[in-house]
Structure 1
Amino acid sequence: MNTKTYASEHNSPWNKGKLVGQKMPLRISEIWAIRVRLEIYGRQRDLALFNLAIDSKLRGCDLVQLRVLDVVHGNHVANRATVMQQKTKQPVQFELTAGTRKSLLEWINVAGLRHDDYLFSSRISGSPHISTRQYARIAHQWFDEIGLDPTAYSTHTLRRTKPTLIYRRTKNLRAVQLLLGHTRLESTVRYLGIEVDDALEMAEQTDA
Structure 2
Amino acid sequence: MQTKPNGTQHLNTPWNKDKIIGQKRPLKLQEVWAIRIRLQLAQQIRELAFFNIAIDSKLGGCDLVGLHVSDIAHGHAVMNRAIVLQQKTQRPVQFEITEHTREALTAWITHAKLKDDQFLFPSRKHASPHLSIRQYARVVERWVISIGLDPSAYGTHTMRRTKATLIYKRTKNLRAVQLLLGHTKLESTVRYLGIKVDDALEMAEQTEV
TM-score range normalised by the length of the shorter chain: 0.7 to 0.9
Q: Are 1:124 and 2:125 matched, yes or no? A: yes
CA contact (8 A) 1:65 1:118 kept: yes
d(CA) in 2 for partners of 1:31, 1:201: 26
d(CA) in 2 for partners of 1:146, 1:101: 24
Residue in 2 aligned with 1:158? Answer: 159
Give the superposition deviation at 1:22: 1.2
The answer to which structure has the higher helix fraction is 1
3-state SS in 2 of match to 1:50: helix
d(CA) in 1 for partners of 2:128, 2:95: 26
The number of aligned residues is: 193
Q: Are 1:169 and 2:173 matched, yes or no? A: no
Q: Are 1:148 and 2:156 matched, yes or no? A: no
Residue in 2 aligned with 1:185? Answer: 186
State the AA in 2 paired with 1:120.
F
3-state SS in 1 of match to 2:196: helix
In structure 1, list runs of 5 or more residues that go unmatched: 3-8, 203-208
Give the superposition deviation at 1:176: 0.2
Residue in 1 aligned with 2:70? Answer: 69
> What TM-score do you get using the length of structure 1 for normalisation?
0.87
String of CA shifts for 1:51-108, please: whole Å, max 9, x gaps: 0000000000000010100000233100000001011110000000000000000000
CA contact (8 A) 1:139 1:154 kept: yes
Residue in 1 aligned with 2:196? Answer: 195
Give the superposition deviation at 1:126: 2.2
CA contact (8 A) 2:48 2:104 kept: yes
Note the 1:1-208 alignment, pairs <5 A: 15=16, 18-195=19-196, 198=199
3-state SS in 1 of match to 2:95: strand
How has the CA–CA distance of structure 1 residues 175 and 13 changed in structure 2, closer, same or farther, with 3 Å as cutoff?
Answer: farther
Q: Considering only CA atoms, is the larger Rg found in Structure 1 or Structure 2?
A: 2
How has the CA–CA distance of structure 1 residues 184 and 155 changed in structure 2, closer, same or farther, with 3 Å as cutoff?
Answer: same
Query: What's the C-alpha RMSD, in Å, of the aligned pairs?
Result: 2.1
> What TM-score do you get using the length of structure 2 for normalisation?
0.87
CA contact (8 A) 2:75 2:116 kept: no
In structure 2, list runs of 5 or more residues that go unmatched: 3-11, 204-209
State the AA in 2 paired with 1:187.
S
CA contact (8 A) 2:20 2:153 kept: no
Give the superposition deviation at 1:201: 6.9
d(CA) in 2 for partners of 1:155, 1:197: 27
3-state SS in 2 of match to 1:37: helix
State the AA in 2 paired with 1:190.
R
Q: Which stretches of structure 1, 4 residues or more, deviate above 6 A after TM superposition?
A: 199-202
d(CA) in 1 for partners of 2:146, 2:60: 23
3-state SS in 2 of match to 1:81: strand
CA contact (8 A) 1:77 1:101 kept: yes
State the AA in 2 paired with 1:184.
K
State the AA in 2 paired with 1:138.
V
Identity %: 65
Q: Which moved more, 1:66-75 or 1:97-106?
A: 66-75
Q: Which moved more, 1:72-81 or 1:165-174?
A: 72-81
Q: Which moved more, 1:157-166 or 1:190-199?
A: 190-199
